[in-house]
Amino acid sequence: MTEIVSALILVVFTGLLLVGAISTLGRHFRYRRLRIRAPLLLYRDRDLLVGLAIPFVLISAARAFSLNSLIRQADGSPQLWWLLVTGLPPIYALARYCWFELFVIERPSRSQKGT
């Protein structure tokens, strides 16, 4: 029973994350296609949602299709490439989010400073 609940939670969470990432990417590409300057926070949202979606989709696919032989070494430890592919995108996404929170949002622009 717990495996079913666990799988259901993973599918729902990953599905919602994908919907958010795809809609944000769609909005980003629409701004680019129309040559309209995108809101600054769209870049933060895009990087955060896509960076978090990548490992969840890959991990969900690995579980769904039993890809343990592809992602694990003989001793059971994960392959280095798997750790990098599933670990670096969320680290980048959260670093970018923190950068926006700490250094971009609610900071006066140069025109507001009078320079």
Q: How far apart are the C-alpha atoms of 11 and 28, rounded to whole Å?
A: 25
**How many domains does the structure of the chain reveal?**
1
Helices and strands counted in the chain (H then E): 5, 0
| Residue among 84, 97, 7 at smallest CA distance from 43 | 97
- Provide the domain limits for residue 12: 2-113
State the pTM of this model.
Answer: 0.80
Residues 56, 14 contacting (CB under 8 angstroms): yes
Q: Euclidean distance between the first and final Cα of the chain, in Å? A: 63
| 115 residues of the chain, pLDDT tens digit each | 888 898 888 889 989 999 999 999 999 999 999 999 999 999 999 999 999 999 989 988 888 888 888 888 888 888 999 999 999 999 999 999 999 999 998 776 666 665 5
100: left (phi over 0), alpha (psi -120 to 50) or beta: alpha
